[in-house]
Structure 1
Amino acid sequence: MADSSSSNLKRRRGLGIVTPNACTECRKKRAKCDGQAPCGRCASQKGATCVYEVPVRQSKEHMRSEIEHLREQQKQTGRVLTALVSNNESEKILKQLRDGATLEDVAEQLERSGSIPSASGGGHTTTFNQNSDHQAIRSALQPAKDIRRFGPSNFASTEVQGLDLGPTGQDMGNAWSAWGSEGQTQDFSGGSQADSMNWSPDGMPYSPHNLNHPLVGTWNQPAGSSQNSFIQFSRGQGQETVLGQEFGVDHTKDVVTDSQFTGSWTSVTSDKALVEHLMALYFCWEYPTFASLNKEHFLEDYRTGNQRYCSSLLINAILALGCRFSDQVQSQLNTQDSDSAGDKFFAEAKRLLDAETDRHVLTTIQALGLLSIREVSCGRSSESLFYSGQSIRLAIEMGLHHEPENEESADAQEDNAVQSATFWGAFSLDQAWSLSIGRLPHFSRDMVSVAKPDIVDEVEASDWVPYTDDGAPFERSCTQPSNIRSVYKTFCELSEIVHQTMYTLYTPGNLVTGKKLLDIYTKYLNWYDLIPTALRLGQNFTPAVLFAHMYYHFAILLLFRPFIKLEIIGSGLSPRNVCSQAAEAITTLVNSYSKLYTLRRTPSFVPCFVLTSSIAHVVTLGTSNVGRELLQQGIQDLREMQPCHGFAVRALDILHYLISTWEVDFSIESESLEEDLKYKQNPRSLCRASASSLNQFCPNVQGMDSTLGPVKQNENPLFWPFPLQGVPLLNIGADLESSGFRMLEVDDAT
């Protein structure tokens, strides 16, 4: 009884000494402060200076209240505008306004009557604050929506014996309609559906934004230092959206609950605010594609200090990757070299990994995948391949690909959800690398795989906001549902088709035929037809959605690229044309991404996409003398990504080498004296492979260069610009036509 009374007294006393304005030292340590001058904690420490900043809690509360009030006013205005552009509601609304009704009254009546969805929309609707925002974003995305693609009718399938195209998405219906996104998400086509913010253009002039000022996340106030209270507050707002309500604004509190872990999980820094800032950057711009961790379970264990789904190794891997999206000097090993961002956390992650005696742990598999993703961004493909291979092999050794037997208890269900995400993240990353370098995956073709993570409506409906070093903007251009689980599941389904592609192209003793190639292509088309409505271009344009569309075209480009010097017998489908269109689609999507967010914040594989599309542009320019602007755009995109992706620098060297070696009439203009001197040297001095780094993206291998010229007699007609990569297994010479291919007959003999 005495112990109980003492405990209750301690709890009451703890709550009683909360001060609305703690000193700077107590805030830094997340400790309680008694508000005295000096406070008791500082007085007990030698050399501690007790300083109180000007109280800002009341101003922050006032700011928060005012922002929410303005947002609600904007939503109400949007509801009324939506009703005004509707033929069914316009006269009624105009009459109410003429009779003196306020916007609040009209909006409330519309929401009660169910005439239009609420602007908060249950979380499944993209909403816009202003008509000009809607028009600008629509203009940025319209080229991507206009991307052309071949459909089943384009390749004269009836002429290819035995080709089974299967039903299209229109015939099969939408398997995702059960999630209620049909007809609720924003349509940029200006159609007649009653979406929450479906405005018609008002004639407002639109001018393209500068790349340094993206449409989504534009600030109306200049950014200050990271210690500026305004930016601290905006970071809190952004982290609360990206990471959850337990983060962000709660950092201003002086009370730490017993269940909250106060450490930073890393020995690199004790600044927990920096750790959570870098975590928010990762979850905003890289997650969920290739993600092997379950965000909700991870964050809960991070917050409470539980090591079930969180570990120091995993935290350091996330921070190393999150640093790629930050300009803060704390993220850089060398403050004069932006390419060193994250090196300190990466080194600590490697130290922890080497110290592990048993790597058959979920968080270790997850960390290996993140380390691989970070290394592909840096351009170290050999190391990235190593970490990715370790991740998928450990996942298979642990049996994560098998369906769980026990699903009854809550703990078992949590374990199953995390294990599923861990396996599919490792699997998808392995397929991406297998596709990029041309090899069989680590996962057997016929091995049974576990079900994909469930789609949770609450997680789907959570908002996505553009989060940067300056936090998240108060006056957002729009509010989008994250659709995290739908993106992840759909992306995993695409990875399954990539998996089948690799076994079609590289299985020993199983030669590639024209029919097999078209069969795989049909699966890609059917996947595209069946993606959820919420993930279609124009419905949702989060970075993860745009990335998934880029990856789709990237996969198609690499499927057909080896065959650009061939034609498929009995088919109207041209591999060369498909590659050109896929490359153009990637360039268009990257351009839209740049206008929305800038390429300073792109997922780590995007430079690989841009390099691949740019090589296709070089081929098109060299063979038909068209596409000069597309190639120039690809080069500009790589330049913009250089500060955050070291691979972009190498990609430019590769393009320079290929343009010179293939004697294409194009010159890459240098932007610095150092670059000018490098490109004036012999092109063969660029991109060489070395014993210390077997870089798969290396075209400079003596005597093995793939050319754009005519194919010589008995020469392998397959085209691949990187000789260290795998080549599809195809009959050549006299047996070529038996596989369903023949040499492409064109005037320029490519």
Structure 2
Amino acid sequence: MSFDSIDDSGDQNLLSALTGLMGRFNIGDDGQLHYFGSQSNYHLMNSISDKSSMESTVSLQRRGLAAVERMGKNVPLSIALQEHLLELYWTWQHPWNYIIHKEMFSRAFRSRTYDRYCTPLLLSAIFALACRFSDREELRTVGEDPNTAGSAFFEQAKILFLYESQAPIIATVQAAALMSIRALSDGQEAFGWLYCGNAVRMALNLGLNIDCSQWVTSGLISEDEAEVRKVTWWGCFVLDKLFSIAVGRPGCTRKSHITCPKPSLSHEVEFEPWNPNLGSALVVSATVMPSRAVSTGHYAAECLSLASEAMDQMFGLLLYTPGLVLCHLLVLDMHQIVDYQLKKWKMLSPEQTLSYAHSI
């Protein structure tokens, strides 16, 4: 889509005023949509991108693949095994970790073309996680050791990330988020924390936390892309809060910084049949469970946001009030407030989401 075909002459005064207060989206040197705050002069750049900048991400991906080959880290994988791992991912990871828009990803994957929704890096990250759910020895670095399942894909993803992160796209954000989970599953807490922070930083860089409905109305991005942005942002938000609670550190996301709406409750996604018996025919009956990936993501974001608020308050008191000792009454007061909010959340939440709350 060409950005130079837009006639915004009638909105220039309003745009200038809003830019001074809120910042704006613009096209970065890598040809991608970025958000720049009002304090930055980057939002004053010409928003027209040339073809060479739009190709920069693809060029970096090619360099990353070449580096993987040179280092002997390439992992050949048959189409059948790729399909097997993707099925595992959609079945066991996707329903609780809603960060990839399945339809847009699958459309690109089926066409065998890499684009902003399906890249070598994202595939490597998905495979690195999905291998943890497979018992196939050919997916392990050491055949007898199931702990090495997917390790080769993770090593491949690390190299690709070094290149693609120079001009990140939405798929880069998703890959970094999945890599953080993979690192944590390997007991590499510091590594996981780092990749989680990278995912959130890149998401903020791309303005995924900002409502982009005006750009949809203007025709600059499609409704599908806007939906992918929502899914990716809120997936990052949930992951950031999970890490914050798990390691007892301040998170990178704040509610006050977010105007992005939650993902749409698409009937196709919400009620997609969930079948844990991989490889077997799906029997259509009243006992088939819907995946409810979208609503689970909604309620997970709210639950984790409430649970992390008390932690953020305590971090703020400790960091900005040197020498302060949090008295027992203050901690108890914070606990009671959050406990009340979580109980209220539980009462208002559908039954199918409560298993998520119990698992936290």
The two structures have a TM-score, normalised by structure 1, of 0.35
Which amino acid is 1:491 matched to?
Answer: A
Partner in structure 2 of residue 486 of structure 1: 295
Which amino acid is 1:514 matched to?
Answer: L
Q: Distance in 2 between matches of 1:291 and 1:448?
A: 18
Is 1:451 equivalent to 2:266 in the alignment? no
Query: Which residue of 304, 310, 314 maps to 1:495?
Result: 304
Is 1:515 equivalent to 2:333 in the alignment? yes
Partner in structure 1 of residue 170 of structure 2: 362
Alignment of 1:568-579 (within 5 A): none
Q: CA RMSD in A?
A: 2.3
Alignment of 1:193-342 (within 5 A): 267-304=74-111, 305-342=113-150
Residues 472 and 378 (structure 1), Cα distance of their counterparts in 2 relative to 1, 3 Å cut: farther
Which amino acid is 2:343 matched to?
Answer: L
Alignment of 1:45-444 (within 5 A): 267-304=74-111, 305-356=113-164, 358-404=166-212, 405-408=214-217, 409=219, 411-444=221-254
Percent identity, aligned pairs only, is 29
Residues 474 and 457 (structure 1), Cα distance of their counterparts in 2 relative to 1, 3 Å cut: closer
Q: Give the 3-state SS of the residue equivalent to 1:280 in structure 2.
A: helix
Q: Distance in 1 between matches of 2:259 and 2:96?
A: 18
Q: Distance in 2 between matches of 1:382 and 1:372?
A: 9
Residues 495 and 536 (structure 1), Cα distance of their counterparts in 2 relative to 1, 3 Å cut: closer
Partner in structure 2 of residue 525 of structure 1: 343
- The answer (yes or no) to whether the contact 1:280–1:467 under 8 Å persists in 2 is no
Shift of 1:267: 4.7
Residues 498 and 370 (structure 1), Cα distance of their counterparts in 2 relative to 1, 3 Å cut: same
The CA deviation string for residues 492-530 of structure 1, in whole angstroms up to 9 with x for no partner, is 221221342321232134754433321111111111111
Q: Distance in 1 between matches of 2:220 and 2:201?
A: 28
Residues 414 and 385 (structure 1), Cα distance of their counterparts in 2 relative to 1, 3 Å cut: same
Which amino acid is 2:293 matched to?
Answer: I
Residues 307 and 277 (structure 1), Cα distance of their counterparts in 2 relative to 1, 3 Å cut: same
Residues 291 and 460 (structure 1), Cα distance of their counterparts in 2 relative to 1, 3 Å cut: closer
Q: Give the 3-state SS of the residue equivalent to 1:496 in structure 2.
A: helix
Shift of 1:271: 0.3
Which amino acid is 1:309 matched to?
Answer: Y
Q: Give the 3-state SS of the residue equivalent to 2:84 in structure 1.
A: helix
Q: Distance in 2 between matches of 1:515 and 1:368?
A: 37
Q: Gaps spanning 5+ residues in structure 2: where? A: 1-72
Partner in structure 1 of residue 68 of structure 2: none
Q: Distance in 2 between matches of 1:483 and 1:518?
A: 31
Q: Distance in 1 between matches of 2:208 and 2:342?
A: 26
Q: Distance in 1 between matches of 2:102 and 2:310?
A: 30
The CA deviation string for residues 30-64 of structure 1, in whole angstroms up to 9 with x for no partner, is xxxxxxxxxxxxxxxxxxxxxxxxxxxxxxxxxxx
Residues 361 and 474 (structure 1), Cα distance of their counterparts in 2 relative to 1, 3 Å cut: closer
Q: Distance in 1 between matches of 2:307 and 2:206?
A: 23
Residues 316 and 487 (structure 1), Cα distance of their counterparts in 2 relative to 1, 3 Å cut: same
Q: Give the 3-state SS of the residue equivalent to 2:175 in structure 1.
A: helix
Shift of 1:396: 1.4
Q: Give the 3-state SS of the residue equivalent to 1:507 in structure 2.
A: helix
- The answer (yes or no) to whether the contact 1:359–1:394 under 8 Å persists in 2 is no
Q: Distance in 1 between matches of 2:114 and 2:162?
A: 22
Q: Distance in 1 between matches of 2:215 and 2:114?
A: 23
- The answer (yes or no) to whether the contact 1:317–1:349 under 8 Å persists in 2 is yes
The CA deviation string for residues 315-366 of structure 1, in whole angstroms up to 9 with x for no partner, is 0100010000001012111112111100111111111112336243111110
Q: Gaps spanning 5+ residues in structure 1: where? A: 1-265, 538-545, 555-750
The CA deviation string for residues 263-294 of structure 1, in whole angstroms up to 9 with x for no partner, is xxx95224011011101101101113333221
Q: Which structure is higher in helix share? A: 2
Q: Point out the structure with max Rg over C-alpha.
A: 1
Which amino acid is 1:324 matched to?
Answer: R
Shift of 1:435: 0.6
- The answer (yes or no) to whether the contact 2:250–2:312 under 8 Å persists in 1 is yes
Q: Distance in 2 between matches of 1:356 and 1:365?
A: 10
- The answer (yes or no) to whether the contact 2:275–2:282 under 8 Å persists in 1 is no
Q: Give the total of aligned pairs.
A: 275
Q: Give the 3-state SS of the residue equivalent to 1:446 in structure 2.
A: helix
Which amino acid is 1:422 matched to?
Answer: T
Q: Distance in 2 between matches of 1:287 and 1:342?
A: 17
The CA deviation string for residues 703-743 of structure 1, in whole angstroms up to 9 with x for no partner, is xxxxxxxxxxxxxxxxxxxxxxxxxxxxxxxxxxxxxxxxx
- The answer (yes or no) to whether the contact 1:466–1:472 under 8 Å persists in 2 is no
The two structures have a TM-score, normalised by structure 2, of 0.71
Q: Distance in 2 between matches of 1:460 and 1:475?
A: 18
Q: Distance in 1 between matches of 2:258 and 2:273?
A: 34
- The answer (yes or no) to whether the contact 1:333–1:342 under 8 Å persists in 2 is yes
Q: Distance in 1 between matches of 2:271 and 2:247?
A: 37
Which amino acid is 1:497 matched to?
Answer: L
Shift of 1:531: 1.3
Which amino acid is 1:302 matched to?
Answer: F
Q: Distance in 1 between matches of 2:276 and 2:92?
A: 8
Alignment of 1:583-622 (within 5 A): none
- The answer (yes or no) to whether the contact 1:441–1:502 under 8 Å persists in 2 is no
Which amino acid is 2:105 matched to?
Answer: F
Which amino acid is 1:378 matched to?
Answer: D
Shift of 1:473: 5.7
Shift of 1:550: 2.7
Partner in structure 2 of residue 30 of structure 1: none
